[in-house]
Every structure is written in C-alpha cells, then in structure tokens.
Chains A and B, each alone.
Chain A
Amino acid sequence: MTPTQTEMPQRRGTPQDSDGTPVISVRRLWKVFGPKADQVPESEELRGLTRRELMDRTGCTAAVRDVNFDVAPGEVFVVMGLSGSGKSTLVRCLTRLIEPTSGELVFEGEDIRDADPGRLRDLRRRKFSMVFQHFGLLPHRRVVDNVAFGLEIRGMGKAERAKRAMEVVELVGLAGYENSYPDQLSGGMQQRVGLARALAGDPDVLFFDEPFSALDPMIRRDMQNEVIRLHHEVGKTMVFITHDLSEALKLGDRILIMRDGKMVQCGTGDELVGAPADDYVREFVKDVPRGDVLTLRWIMRPPADGDALDGPELGPDVVVKEATRAVLAADKPVKVVEDGKLLGIVGDEEILAVVAGQEGGA
C-alpha cells in the first residue's frame, strides 16, 4: 500500500523548486574503515555479511552500507539512528570530511567525489556548511569573529565580513552578545553561534550533526523552533542528523532511519508511524503519540454500504489530533476528500482507536 521510500516531500508547504531535481543525490554510498576497505563494496560476498561477520573476516568496519537517497531543494531531510548506526559518518561523507569508500555523491549535478581538493574547498566555502554537536567554536575569538570565520577563510575583506556577520548574529537572536567570548555563553547560545557561522556564508545546504544533543531539553526545544523559524525565513535545504525521534518528526519533511550502517526506511513521519518497514522501525515509533503524526489518510476506511455519506469533509493530510474534535462532534462519519474525490471515511471508531493508543492505520 505505501512505498518505503517517497521521492518528494508532500506536506508543510515547504518552498520547492519547480523542476524538482534533487540538490543532493546519493547512490550506493559505502564507507568502510579498516585495511583494504575498498574491496568490501566491490565484493558481492563481503557486501552481504553482517557487521560482525565482516569484522571477523576482514577486520573492517562498514559504517555506511549502500545508502541511497535524494534531497529536494528546500527540504529538511533528517537522518535518524542510534549511536553507532553510521549517521554521523554518513553526513561527513556528504561533505567529504570523511572520504567515502565508494558510490556516487551528486550535488547540483556534479559528482563531488571527483572534485579535487581545490574544488572541494570551494564547495565547502560557498555551497555547504555544517553545525556540529560540540559546536567547534574558537575560544580565542569573539562571537562576531567566530561567525565571520568562514568569510575570513574565503578571503572576504574585514569591513564586509563584519557587516555580514552582524546581520547573521541578529538573525539567530544573538544581538548584544557579538563581543562576548564563546565560554561566556550558555550551551544553547554557543550553538546559535555555530548556527550563525554556518549561515554566514549563505550556503545552499546546511548540514546539522546532532546539533542539539548536548543541550538541555528546554533549550533543545527552543533551538528546534529556531531551526524551523530559520527554515521558513531563509528556506535552505537542510540535512539534519539526530538520534531523537521526536526531533526528527518535528523537523523533518522526510526521515531516513539507519541501523548498522544500512538504511531501514526513508519516508515522511506519518509513513514511518503508519507503515513501519520492519520490527525495528515499529519498535522505534511505538511510543510516538500517533494522533500527532498520523493523518486521516492513514486511518480512513472505504465507505461501506450502510455509511451515511453526507457528513462534513476534511482533507487527507489533516493530522488526526486536529481532526478529532470535528469527527467526534459530527454525528455522521467525516468524508476524506482530495480534489473533489472521495478517498474514504473516518468515523468515531477510527479516531478513538488512534487516540486511545490502539493499533491503527495500515
């Protein structure tokens, strides 16, 4: 019924380029650590081994195994997995901070695995930037100089970069702290500096490597909202690494779940919850409040003979939680209608099954 991988984002009205070509296209990406690592992706036999068997056989660790995905322009693409699942290695492979072992890595039509060091540096200076879990700020520089660091590396003039840095400092809400040093700021504020530094160069793609994992829960929520706000304001393509499912669901247009270096499932949040690809994903999404994630599309049923078909209408992408009151208030089942076509109906039974936490959907 549902594919395990949707090609394009479907919701939240994120800005999209009309032609729909992906910004980043990853094909058959492998990263193997260890002796003679490059033989592993080539050998049919070695590719099939589990991590453990591979370690015993060759002494190699496969951190990323045959990963494929596309990221659309303006999309927030989340890679999620537990520690050791290879997600941090994956994001570093995308900018070649870690050199991938094999595969294709196409960025705006160019395979960046072929880029020479000069071209790669140029891409990093102008096209990508990254926000790190432990910030990676320079303690001996003031906030504004940290933000301007990337511009300085590019060779931008002092006055110009100071001006740009101040703009970004204001954008991330750090105005007034530009002359502080990083160690005088709280963790959340330090990460705002990291964010500002990444935004200063006006890159096409922002990579986030578990940027909020080191922060307190309250601050983490603020920062997540900040990312959502910035995404609305600047509309950058973002690749976001996290181990926190609720963060993934909150931020991601689409989510890629990794386990042991392999991709398990890639889809929108409601697809993961509604149609988990396997038990691993099912276990993962078990505790998610389903009503917050699932849409009517996932719980509607085909109209049966006895159903009254003159109830109120709702769209298929309305989240269950938001539809609950309307469905329960209506004395007839709600019709789920898209483009004037009746897709199915949702009654009190279906809504309650989700809200009461029972198995629902597909």
Chain B
Amino acid sequence: MAVALEKTAPLAGVRQVRRRTVVAAILVAWLVLFVIFRGRQTLALAAADLTDLHRWFNDVNDSIGANRNSNPLFLYFFNEIRLVIDTLVTFVQELISQPSADRPVPQVGWLGVVGIAGYVSWAVGNWRVALLAVAGFTFMGLQGLWQESMDTLALILCAVFVALLFAIPIGVWAGLSDRVNRIVTPFLDFMQTMPTFVYLAPLTLFFLIGGASATIATAIYAAPPAIRITAHAIRSVPGTTVEAADSLGATRRQALLKVLLPMSKRTVVMGINQSIMAALAMVTIAALIDAPGLGKTVVQALQSLDVGTAFNAGLAIVVMAIVLDRVTTAASTREEAARRSGGRFLSWRRPLLAAGGVVTVVLVYMSHTYVWAAEFPGEGGIGTSIASAADTATTWAQDNLSGLTNAFRDGITNGLLNPFQSLLTDSPWWLVAAVLITLGAVLGGWRAGVTAAVCVGLLVGTGVWSDAMTTMASTLVATVLVMVLGVAMGVWMGRSLLVDRVLRPTLDAAQVMPPFVYLVPFLALFGATRFTAIVAAIVYAAPVAIKIIADGVRAVPETTVEAATSAGCNTWQTITKVQLPMARSALTLATNQGLIYVLSMVVVGGLVGAGALGYDVVAGFSQGQLYGKGLAAGLAIVLLGVMFDRITQAAARRTSA
C-alpha cells in the first residue's frame, strides 16, 4: 500500500508521517476551526452585487463596444476574422438552412441534403452508415426540427472546416518536430481541461454574439483533439519505415507525402471524428451566445422548464451525434475493409460512385426547384408526439415517482451536499484557502501546492468566492459519487470480460453525446435544482471513470491475481488488496477525468437552477450589467479546473512513481 513517505510538504514536523494521516489531520483541523469561525469572512456576494473587478470588466466591455469600429486592432483584426467567418457561415446557412435573399427557402432543400448526406456517407464509409445517415436526417425532419438541425449542421461544418484548416498543419508540424510538440502540448492540455462553457464569455468580448463567434468558439474547442491526434499519428509511423524511405534517397517532402501522411491517414480521420464530436458539443452550448440551431431550442425549453420540447430537440442532437460519429468512424476504417473485400468490389466502385453522384445531383436540383423537395413536408407531427409523450412521462414520473425521487434527492442533498456546501461556503475564506493549499501540497507535492495557492489567490480576486465554493461543493460531491460508481462498475467490468463486452459500447455511446442533453431527462425527474445538475454530471462523467478503472483493473497482471488466489484470497480480498492497489494510478487518473467532466457539467447545470458560477455565466450573457460578473465567474471556473487538474495530476504522478 501507499507507504509513500511525505517528502516535500511545506508543513514543518509532518515529515515521515503517512500522507493519509496528514490529510485526516488537516480535515479535522478544518472542522474545528469551522465551528469556531463559522459565518465570518465568507466573502459572500449577493446575486445582483458587483465588485470593482466586475464593474471594470463591464467598463472594458462597454469601451470595446464603443470602439469596436474605430480601434485598429478591432478594425483590422478581430472584425476581419469575424467578417470572414460570418461570410462562410452565412454562405453555408443559405445553402442548407436559411432562406437566401431572393428565395423563401434555402438553395438546397431537404431532399438534396438527405441525398448528399447519404451519398457522402456511402462514399467515405459504407452503405450501412449511408442508410443510417438518410434515416437520421429524415427523422430530424419528421421531428419538425429540420431548419434547426441544418443550422447546427452548418455551424459544425464551418467550425470543423476552420479548425482542421489550422489543426492538421499544426498537428503535422508537431508530429515532425519535437520542439513544436513540446510547445503545443501544454496549450492543448490546458484547452482540453476547460469546460466548453468558459470559451464563450471572453470570445463575445472580441467577436460579439451570434453564429460567427459561436463558430469561432467551436473551432477553438474542436481543434485540440485534431492537432493532438494528427501529431500522434505522424509520430507513430514506425521509425524503420521512415528510415527505409531515407535510405532510398527520399527527400523530406517525398517522405512526408508518400510515407508519413498516407500512413497516418486513418488515425487523422479518427482525429476528425473527435473534432466533429467536440464541435457538436460546443455548438449546442453556444446557443448561450445566440448561436442558431438545436442548442437554442434546448436552452429556451430548459429555461421555461418545457421538458417535452427540450426532449424532442435533445433527441435530435443525439441522432445527429450518432450519425456523425458512425459515419466518420466508418470513414476511418473503410480503406482497410475495402482492401480485404478484394478487387472485385473495387472495379465496380468507380461506376457506382459516378452513378450515385448523378442521382445526388438530380436530387439536389429537384430540391432546388420544387417546393415539396425544398421544405420538409408535414408539420413535424412526430416531434409533437415525442414532446407530448415526454411530457406525459414526466408528469407520470413526477406524480408517481416523486416520493422515490424526492426522497433520493433530499437524502443526498441534506445528507451530503448541504453539510459539505455549508462547510465550504460558511468557513472563512482564509480557512478554506489554507486547507486547499495544504491539501494540494500534501497530495500533489510543492508544485501543486504553489498552483493551488495561485489559483486560490486569483479566485478571491474574482470576487465570486462564495459562488465558487458552492460550485466546488457540487463538483466534489458529484465526483465522490462518480468514483463510487466508477469503482463498483469498473471493478466489475475489469474482472468480467462478459460485462465489459456488454457495457463498453453503451459507455462509448454515452461519451459521444454533448453534455447538454443529459440535463433533459433529469430535469424531468428532479425538477430545476442543484441536484439535477449533479445527477446529470454523474451520468456524464461516470462512463469515463468506469472505463479508466476497468482498464486499470484489467491491466493488473494475471499472474499476480493467480498468486493471490493461490494464497487463499477470497474475491473481496483480491479486489481490495491486489487489484485496486495495483490499479492505483488508474484510480487517480479516473478522479482527474471525473473531476474535469463533472465540473464542465455542473456549470452547465446553471441552466436548470444549479445556481452559483454556472448561473453567473448564463446571467452574464443575458444581462448587460452582469456581464463583468459572468466573465469573472467564467474565470473562476477556469481556476477551479486548473487547480483540480494540477493537484490530481500531480497526485497521479506521485502514486504511479
């Protein structure tokens, strides 16, 4: 077990003591001091109150607004970017979703889009995903959400296009050059720890709200996975192959074009898949800054607690996620599959593709010309039925299950959440700060302690300390529950191949969904409370934690488990004394990922009444005088994320060392 001795804690006199004892001592000291100093110096700030920093942010926002068209930085830089992106977005929107100047309908109607979707899916993937794409797109039309879906699709297409335009060259560069890789990696790490949410506020400062800035935010969010995976793909081309090309006298250009790029193509397509899924997650959230599309429908419905509509639109997002994921995954495996099926198929492929192309062009032409093929027929009757069915189910659940769900909710809220939250929010700020810093130092070493100190200092500076503590309480409670779930399920999956095989596809699918859609069903069950956000966060974060722990348990060498069994361990002993201790680094990694995922979800929960930082950000988007506070809250989320990430990562490094 962890007999790891305390080496670097800045506390005098605790050297050579077990880390666990130190942690316990800190917590006890905290409780004692909490009782003494309760309610003093809590830095609480009422919802409408502002600090100087918030007012200063407001002033900055106002002055930027006033000088947007005179300041050269904006005139020649930000406005230009916005203009280019806006032109791109408008172009794609007029193509598939919005009526253009002289037409009441978009250039390409539903029939054309469905045709293109099917044809492209078939060309890059296979006929099965083509059918899925056709069915999926048609279903979105039947839901009565055709235009919203197309708006979302248009934003995704633009954002992914822009993201890849930068991401792939940067990724290739980072793959070729160690130095570039070293420079880029910390940025990517940082960007990926951030919840989708926090990209939005600063961007509105520079790019206003609307489709263009949503596209920019989405592109920024979607680029890191593509960069990372492209670099990884280039790096994992076997050295011998590159050397063989060198030994044949290939120039750098030849080696890149004929060896590195073709050999990493498949992995790069996986990167594009990741990029598209990230874009989908972001585009829906970007509804908060007035991005058109499905996300907007969900947000509006959530804010008016209209579960039926939210469910219908959420379902459309899920369908789109599934279609995009399946098609791009099929694209990344297609080449190999086609090769296996032999030459007979390949010789037919070309004429078939040409024929399919002709059919698609005809469909596009028809949808451009005839009204029936341009506007999706019907009134979205299926969508209405889905919405009312969801409403009925919600009402039923609230009528019949309320005893159960309320008991569960109140149990967790009163038993776990409230005491913890009041411990955090009612303690004097300096006490919580000291606890965080010392815990950071004890668990993660002095570097993590310093990071924690800096983050805590800045958190105090943001002026939303109290809200940050509330969010932190929810996050930590949710993380604890995620870990309980993660250990239970992860151990089960890790020990049984059958369970793994059954559960893994579900978990994979769950991870593909944008965080947003998790809120809807829990809103139905638990109403608009903090608890809804917490449950949604648990459901969102659990798959990651479960998978990491399952892999960790599975990675424990078979012989070690056999040795334990032959020594007479029962199952419980094997798990607690062999498998879990040996999967320690997986547990810390799962905690890290769990925290980050939970954090990003808990703030989204601001939409359904979770309050605190998430609410501050949302309110900042909608009310001018709260803009500065929202920005500060976004900053606070970043600080919390960085602090959690640094401490848990440092702790993970220590346990694995």
Interface residues, chain A, with chain B CB atoms under 8 Å away: 92, 95, 97, 120-126, 128-130, 132-140, 149-150, 152-154, 179, 181, 194, 197, 201, 207
Contact = CB atoms under 8 A, between A and B. Distances in A.
Contacts of B242: 136
Interface stretch (B250-258, B273-281, B298-306): B250-258
Interface string B229-243: 000000000101111
Contacts of A125: 248-249
Interface residues of B, number: 22
B624 interface: no
B267 to A, nearest CB: 12
Please provide the 6 A-B residue pairs with the shortest distance between their CB atoms, ordered closest to farther: A136-B244, A125-B249, A124-B249, A136-B240, A150-B248, A130-B247
Given A130-B247, A138-B259, A197-B248, 12 more contacts: A92-B243, A122-B249, A128-B247, A136-B238, A138-B258, A140-B335, A150-B249, A152-B258, A153-B248, A153-B251, A153-B258, A154-B249
Contacts of A136: 238, 240-245
A201 B244 CA distance: 13
B238 A134 contact: yes
Contacts of A137: 241, 244
Contacts of A95: 247
A123 B247 CA distance: 10
A97 B249 contact: no
A136 B251 CA distance: 17
Contacts of A138: 241, 258-259, 262-263
A130 B244 contact: yes
Nearest to B266: A140
Interface string B315-345: 0000000000000000000010001000100
B343 A179 contact: yes
Interface in B540-576: none
Interface of B: 238, 240-251, 254, 258-259, 262-263, 265, 335, 339, 343
Nearest to A194: B244
Given A149-B258, A152-B258, A133 B240 contact: yes
Nearest to A155: B254
For the residues of A in contact with B, the DSSP-based class is mixed
Contacts of B262: 138, 140
B248 A132 contact: no
A150 B254 CA distance: 11
Interface centre among B243, B258, B263, B343 (most CB of A within 10 A): B243
A92 B243 CA distance: 10
B245 A153 contact: yes
Nearest to B342: A179
Contacts of B259: 138
Contacts of A123: 249
Contacts of A139: 263
Contacts of B250: 121, 153
Contacts of B247: 95, 97, 124, 128-130, 207
A155 B507 CA distance: 50
A132 B245 CA distance: 11
Contacts of B249: 120-126, 150, 153-154
24 contacts: A95-B247, A124-B246, A128-B247, A130-B244, A130-B247, A132-B240, A132-B243, A132-B244, A133-B240, A134-B238, A134-B240, A136-B238, A136-B241, A136-B245, A137-B241, A138-B258, A139-B263, A140-B262, A140-B263, A149-B245, A149-B248, A153-B250, A153-B251, A201-B248
Contacts of A194: 244
Contacts of B335: 140
A133 B239 CA distance: 12
Nearest to B262: A140
B68 to A, nearest CB: 50
A322 to B, nearest CB: 39
A138 B263 CA distance: 7
Contact of A97 (B238, B243, B258, B343): B243
Contact of B248 (A124, A133, A181): A124
Contacts of A154: 249
For the residues of B in contact with A, the DSSP-based class is helix
B248 A135 contact: no
B234 to A, nearest CB: 15
B575 to A, nearest CB: 40
A154 B246 CA distance: 12
Given A140-B263, A149-B258, A152-B258, A135 B240 contact: yes
A35 to B, nearest CB: 17
A181 B346 CA distance: 15
B232 to A, nearest CB: 17
B39 to A, nearest CB: 60
Contacts of B243: 92, 97, 132, 136
A118 B227 CA distance: 32
Contacts of B241: 136-138
A361 to B, nearest CB: 40
B339 A97 contact: no
A219 to B, nearest CB: 19
A38 B265 CA distance: 39
B138 to A, nearest CB: 36
A153 B262 CA distance: 15
B254 to A, nearest CB: 6
Contacts of A153: 245, 248-251, 254, 258
Nearest to A133: B240
Contacts of B246: 97, 124
Interface centre among B249, B254, B263 (most CB of A within 10 A): B249
A130 B238 CA distance: 16
Contacts of B339: 181
Contacts of A181: 339
A153 B259 CA distance: 11
A89 to B, nearest CB: 13
Contacts of B343: 179
B519 to A, nearest CB: 44
Contacts of A149: 245, 248, 258
Interface centre among A123, A136, A138, A150 (most CB of B within 10 A): A136
Contacts of A120: 249
Nearest to A152: B258
A120 B249 CA distance: 8
Contacts of A197: 244, 248
Nearest to A179: B343
Nearest to A207: B247
A224 to B, nearest CB: 21
A134 to B, nearest CB: 5
Given A136-B240, A153-B254, A129 B248 contact: yes
Contacts of A150: 248-249
Nearest to B259: A138
B269 to A, nearest CB: 13
Nearest to A181: B339
A140 B237 CA distance: 12
B624 to A, nearest CB: 56
Nearest to B247: A130
Contacts of A134: 238, 240
A311 B248 CA distance: 57
A121 B251 contact: yes
Contacts of A207: 247
A207 B238 CA distance: 19
Interface centre among A97, A130, A139, A181 (most CB of B within 10 A): A139
Contacts of A128: 247
Interface centre among A125, A132, A137, A152 (most CB of B within 10 A): A132
A138 B259 CA distance: 7
A143 to B, nearest CB: 13
A130 B248 CA distance: 8
A129 B246 CA distance: 10
A156 to B, nearest CB: 12
B510 to A, nearest CB: 33
Interface centre among B242, B244, B335 (most CB of A within 10 A): B244
Nearest to B250: A153
Nearest to A203: B248
A128 B265 CA distance: 30
